Amino acid sequence: MLVFNDKKTLILIRNYSQVPDTKQWFVYMLECADGSLYTGVSNDLAKRVEKHNAGKGAKYTRSRLPVKLVYSETAPDKGEALKKEIKMKQLSRAEKLVLIRQGAYSC
What is the three-state SS of 62-100? HCCCCCEEEEEEEECCHHHHHHHHHHHHCCCHHHHHHHH
Q: Give burial (CB, 10 Å; 0-12/13-18/19+) of 93.
A: exposed
Instruction: Output the pLDDT for position 9.
Output: 44
Architecture in CATH for domain 22-102: 3-Layer(aba) Sandwich (3.40)
In the chain, domain spans: 22-102
Dump pLDDT digits (tens) for 76-94.
999 999 999 999 999 999 9
Instruction: Output the pLDDT for position 3.
Output: 39
Alpha-carbon span 30 to 17, nearest angstrom: 32
Alpha-carbon span 76 to 78, nearest angstrom: 7
pTM: 0.76
23 band by pLDDT with thresholds 50, 70 and 90 = confident
Q: How many residues does the chain have?
A: 107
Q: What is the mean pLDDT of the chain?
A: 83
3-state secondary structure of 105: coil
